[in-house]
Amino acid sequence: MEIKRAKYSGFCFGVDKAVKTAFELDYDGKVYTWGELIHNQKVIDELGKKGIKAIDDIGILKEGDCVIIRAHGIGKKIYEDLNSLNVTILDATCPYVKRIHEIVKKEHEDGNQIIIAGNPEHPEVIGINGWCEGKALIVADEKDAEALPASDKKAVVVAQTTFKRAKYEDICEVLKKKFAFVIKFDTICNATVQRQSEAESLSREVDLMIVIGGKNSSNTQKLYEICKENCSQTYLIENADELPPFDKNVRRVGITAGASTPEMVIKEVIFHMEDMMNGHEGEMDFSKALEMTFTELRTNEIIKGKIIGYNNNDVFVDIGYKADGLIPMEEFLDDPDFDPERDLKDGKEI
């Protein structure tokens, strides 16, 4: 049996940043995360062993406590409430999500109707809505968009970063018929696009597909849906214990993982699959192996990477590491001959 793993799987830049912020923190006092840091129970359990608990009630906090803002981000009011308590805030919001907050805040202040394509119950969407005073219209699919009343207002549309691109396009086409003027921002992150595209391709090539990630992870669910469309034997699992028995006719197995899935969980699944093929099973120490995945690139080391996208603030670079690199846009702006369309093309080596 051949096992084929998707290149783009596991932690994305935003999640990697949030997890490192928590695990590498040395703070003399109580530490909390606002909501679950990421959608992965093993990581949450390991944080609990370090004394870091998830909360969603600001009344628990006291002056001097530390709060880590998760990758999904939070609304403006929660920031203000936290600041009023004089607690230490470590903001691990994903840069892609931060960009949406900035767009929504500005466009709302300009008097435009904000529309969010996404799951209304997802923390990222709730946080985004918090930057326009909770007045956004939230649509999960075309049916929701069709149900909106016609309006002569200018609509500004953003998408949850893990939203399925094809569905986003379909929703926007419906909205163009509902509003006098529609501006669509491309806010689906590069990591999501890469994972979805590769999952679609890989699931067409294999007999069985394994998608690893939390059951409550939005981007993992999208990967599962995409793979299921192409491969009937697609399974969503959270860890190696949930691996299904393999039919003897299965020759090729594909593996992909959501952006909240630690590298060690992926390796653990592959390890157990190989053992199942060989007729024996073994165990791995998750907590020790998790720490091993945090090996840093050496400071001041010169490396090569390929540009995979950019926004007004940052340039994202694939450096062949388990997470993408991020370079502040201001580092490019120092060059008087800088041309973003020329110098920041996708795939350009830097």
Radius of gyration (C-alpha) of the chain in whole angstroms: 21
- What is the C-alpha to C-alpha distance for residues 258 and 324, in angstroms, rounded to an integer? 15
Q: Are strands 314-318 and 325-328 parallel, antiparallel or unpaired?
A: antiparallel
- Which one is catalytic: 107, 124, 263, 268? 124
Beta strands 151-159; 113-117: pairing state = parallel
User: What is the rounded distance in angstroms from the CA atom of residue 153 to the CA atom of residue 270?
Assistant: 52
- Write out the two tokens for 190: 């590069």
**CA–CA distance from 115 to each of 138, 168, 180, 181, 262 (Å)?**
6, 12, 14, 12, 32
> Where is 255: in which H helix or E strand?
strand 252-257
Helix axes 190-203 and 218-230, enclosed angle (nearest 10): 30
Residue 224 to residue 231: CA distance in whole angstroms: 10
Query: Which amino acid makes up residue 252?
Result: R
What b-and-e string marks burial along 6-18, b requiring 16 or more CB atoms within 10 Å of the CB?
bebbbbbbbbbbb
Q: Is the dihedral of CA 92, 21, 290, 5 positive or negative?
A: positive
Which residue in the block uniquely carries the two structure tokens 């903001």?
91
| 124 labelled catalytic | yes
User: Structure tokens of 257?
Assistant: 């993982």
Cβ atoms of 258 and 217 closer than 8 Å: yes
Task: Provide the annotated active-site residues.
Answer: 124
